[in-house]
């Protein structure tokens, strides 16, 4: 174990090889955190775990988990408790799904799933680990919102996604107020367009158009989001709570 490894970060949605979750887990490991990677995609998260174990001298645990399923989240908590990892000091809620359907076309099933994964999943995972943070005397929760929440729909995902990601901002503010008494901070990140595989079916032409529409002229890299997650989890960021950190290349300036 790396001599500096004193805390564990739990990262959801870490099973996509080009995704924000794996980039975030990698950055925690680079900075000496032990890491628990979780994802709905069992093969993907196992592969991500193997990559980190190979590249970094920190403890790594890779577990399948559906963040929208309380039993699945409970199983992760039990596996972490049964491990010899250091105390959980950070939860990085990254798992999420898009929702390209327009308001009039959206089925109730799609609505429920988008809310369940993006919003309820963040609630369940944070609620499962915060008691340990209170006990250990250190805690950071970083949730994933989106610029879509700020301007009400985007180029790819629409109203259902905007509602779920706006819910994440409310969840973040409420948790920040309630958990401040324990010294636990809670913040959200609201990215613009990030270069990952989330936009299933988007072709090269569309991706070029998305990049051109960003004032900085390019999409965000996953490692840029990862750096923000890890910094918000640091001791240096201990006086920042209840905020939504925009990282969008100037797409939405408020
Ligand atoms: N890429 C973007 O442009 C962008 C912009 C703003 C916000 N976001 C948000 O960032 C997060 C990461 O997205 P990404 O771009 O890396 O996408 P991605 O599709 O590469 O990664 C998302 C990961 O979440 C996992 N996942 C899906 N449902 C899950 C569930 N129920 N339980 C656990 N894991 C589940 C997927 O298997 C996948 O590995 C998402 O919350 C997304 O909404 C992305």
Of 163, 241, 146, nearest in space to 198 by CA: 146
DSSP category for residue 215? T
Q: How far is the CA of 118 from the centre of ligand 1 (A)?
A: 9
Q: Which residues pair with 62 in a beta bridge?
A: 37
Other C-beta atoms lying within 10 Å of the C-beta of residue 201:
7
Q: How far, in Å, CA of 167 to CA of 153, rounded? A: 13
Domain boundaries, the chain: 8-247
**Kind of pairing, strands 185-191 and 140-144?**
parallel
Q: How far is the CA of 37 from the centre of ligand 1 (A)?
A: 13
| Per-residue model confidence (pLDDT) at position 125 | 99
* C-beta 130 within 6 A of ligand 1: no
Annotation marks residue 182 as catalytic:
no
CA distances from 164 to 66, 109, 140 (A): 17, 14, 21
Q: What is the pLDDT along the chain (254 residues), one digit of tens a residue?
A: 565 679 999 999 999 999 999 999 999 999 999 999 999 999 999 999 999 999 999 999 999 999 999 999 999 999 999 999 999 999 999 999 999 999 999 999 999 999 999 999 999 999 999 999 999 999 999 999 999 999 997 767 899 999 999 999 999 999 999 999 999 999 999 999 999 999 888 899 989 999 999 999 999 999 999 999 999 999 999 999 999 999 999 999 98
Of 46, 159, 181, 39, nearest in space to 99 by CA: 159
| Per-residue model confidence (pLDDT) at position 1 | 57
Looking at the CA of residue 219, tell me the nearest atom of ligand 1. Answer: 3
Q: Are 8 and 36 in contact (CB under 8 A)?
A: yes
| Per-residue model confidence (pLDDT) at position 202 | 87
Of 16, 22, 139, 116, nearest in space to 70 by CA: 116
| Per-residue model confidence (pLDDT) at position 4 | 61
Of 31, 19, 18, nearest in space to 9 by CA: 31
* C-beta 95 within 6 A of ligand 1: yes
Q: Tell the CATH topology of 8-247.
A: Rossmann fold (3.40.50)
Q: How far, in Å, CA of 115 to CA of 163, rounded? A: 8
Please report how many Cα atoms fall inside a 13 Å half-sphere around the Cα of residue 186, on the Cβ side. Answer: 26
User: For atom 30 of ligand 1, which residue has the closest CA?
Assistant: 66
* C-beta 66 within 6 A of ligand 1: yes
């Amino acid at each position: 174990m790396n001599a500096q490894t004193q805390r564990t970060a739990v990262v959801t949605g870490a099973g996509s090889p080009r995704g924000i979750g794996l980039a975030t887990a990698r950055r925690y490991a680079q900075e000496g955190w032990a890491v628990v990677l979780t994802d709905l995609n069992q093969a993907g998260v196992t592969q991500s775990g193997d990559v980190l174990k190979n590249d970094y001298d920190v403890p790594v645990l890779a577990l399948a988990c559906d963040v929208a399923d309380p039993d699945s989240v409970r199983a992760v908590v039990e596996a972490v408790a049964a491990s010899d990892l250091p105390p959980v000091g950070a939860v990085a809620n990254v798992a999420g799904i898009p929702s390209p359907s327009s308001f009039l076309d959206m089925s109730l099933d799609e609505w429920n799933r988008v809310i369940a994964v993006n919003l309820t999943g963040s609630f369940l995972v944070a609620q499962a680990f915060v008691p340990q943070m209170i006990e250990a005397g250190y805690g950071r929760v970083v949730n994933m919102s989106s610029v879509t929440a700020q301007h009400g729909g985007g180029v790819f995902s629409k109203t259902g996604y905007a509602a779920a990601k706006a819910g994440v901002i409310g969840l973040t503010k409420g948790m920040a107020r309630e958990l401040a008494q324990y010294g636990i901070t809670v913040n959200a990140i609201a990215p613009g367009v990030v270069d990952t595989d989330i936009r299933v079916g988007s072709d090269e032409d569309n991706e070029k158009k998305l990049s051109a529409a960003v004032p900085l002229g390019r999409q965000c890299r996953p490692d840029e989001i990862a750096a923000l997650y890890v910094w918000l989890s640091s001791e240096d960021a201990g006086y920042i709570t209840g905020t939504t950190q925009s990282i969008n290349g100037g797409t939405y300036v408020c």
